[in-house]
Amino acid sequence: MRAGSRLLLPLLFTVFFAGQAWAAPSDADWSKAGHRDVTLFYPGVASWEFLNGDDHRLGGREIKKGKKDCRHCHMSKDGELDLKAAEIAAGSMRMKRSHNPFEPEPVAGKKGLMKAGVKAAYDSENLYVRVEWESKGSGWRSRGTPDRVSIQMNGAEPYFAKYGCFITCHNDANTMPGSPSRREVAANPAYNGRDDVRLYAFYAKGSWDGPRHGDRLKNGLIDLKSVEFEGGKATSRDGWVFDDRAWEEKDSPGGGAFSNGRYSAVFSFRLKSADKFDVNVSEGEVVPIAISIHDEGAEKRKHFVSFPVAIGIGAAAEVRAVKLSR
Ligand code: HEC
């Protein structure tokens, strides 16, 4: 039997949000949902600048043209990753030209790859995406460093469909090797006293202190949702990435649990959302998501990431979301 179909504690939770209720699909619903095992990898400090630069010359040429996607060169037809992620995680791998390490601060015992089960379903109101993975559950069992799964989603920007969250990961972001000092960031008026550089889409800003290009609310906005596990509780947040990463609210629809050695998180995306910071998706569409997982005390950039995964809302895709009759 597939690990993904193992029985979890019944995950029946109802959350009230902005005056309206949503009910997560039941276990019976999930057992009928479209499913795929997705491999996530440890990227070290591989940023958008690395991917487009001399250290990744063969790949960079194609990325600049927006032609071949990551999977074309780094994944076989049956979904096997061809990427030296274990060497990156161990800290032994260096970049080709600059000889800079892919991971200057390796974490002892860190794996290069992990698997997550991804399921999707929808009803007349929402698209639901469930992500689960095997874990020791250190965040759930304690307080201090939560475990977390995040999803970026964008249905309109072709670079997102090909390169996923890598288009938001920059060498000058907080904890990356080219990050400005906290004092420098705080001194920049655009940061309003904040001292960290967060995710931003390459087409929205050329560098941490560059001007913003374009309108935040047009197609390039990337929806961001996250479920965090800490001290026996799951908290769901809703946010976005464009020229910055921001959270709109805590306790947005979504939730999860840790049980039988597995985390399970459910995300809810409103169909045809009127919220200006949500991505607008509807039945019949295929929408790419990118997943990141912070597990076993990982913080900031030290997460696992996926290549984009296409979710079909009642349409053929890598994961086909099934319509729930309810
Ligand atoms: C046209 C093919 C191509 C594409 C597209 C491509 N890469 Fe690569 N990538 C390579 C090659 C070839 C290497 C080996 C280094 C070299 O020769 O430049 C590499 C190396 C890497 C490495 C260093 C680890 C290793 O296994 O060598 C990482 C990390 C990486 N690529 C990530 C990505 C990501 C993420 C994307 C998508 C955003 C991507 N690549 C797109 C061809 C590609």
What is the number of the ligand 1 atom nearest to the C-alpha of 58? 18
Residue 322: C-alpha distances to residues 103, 227, 253, 308 (Å): 40, 22, 19, 20
Which residue has tokens 């689960």?
Answer: 132
What is the number of the ligand 1 atom nearest to the C-alpha of 55? 18
Q: How far is CA 100 from the centre of its chain?
A: 25
Residue 64: C-alpha distances to residues 59, 67, 85, 208, 290 (Å): 9, 8, 23, 20, 20
CA nearest to 203, candidates 216, 188, 189: 216
Q: How far is CA 200 from the centre of its chain?
A: 13
Say what the pLDDT of residue 12 is.
39
Q: Which residues neighbour 119 within 8 Å (Cβ) at sequence distance 6 or greater?
A: 4, 30, 33, 34, 35, 129, 130, 319
Say what the pLDDT of residue 8 is.
42
Report CA(38)–ligand 1 centroid distance (Å).
Answer: 19
Report CA(44)–ligand 1 centroid distance (Å).
Answer: 13
Say what the pLDDT of residue 176 is.
98
Which protein residue has the closest C-alpha to ligand 1 atom 37? 70
Rounded to whole angstroms, how far apart are CA atoms 222 and 277? 8
Say what the pLDDT of residue 273 is.
85
Report CA(52)–ligand 1 centroid distance (Å).
Answer: 10
Phi, psi of 215 (to 5 degrees): -95, 125
Say what the pLDDT of residue 27 is.
87
pLDDT in tens, the chain (326 residues): 344 434 444 443 444 333 345 678 988 899 989 899 999 999 999 999 999 999 999 999 999 999 999 999 999 988 899 999 999 999 999 999 999 999 999 999 999 999 999 999 999 999 999 999 999 999 999 999 999 999 999 999 999 999 999 999 999 999 999 999 999 999 999 999 999 999 999 999 999 999 999 888 777 899 999 999 999 999 999 999 999 999 987 778 899 999 999 999 999 999 988 888 888 899 999 999 999 999 998 999 999 999 999 999 999 999 999 999 87
Which protein residue has the closest C-alpha to ligand 1 atom 16? 56
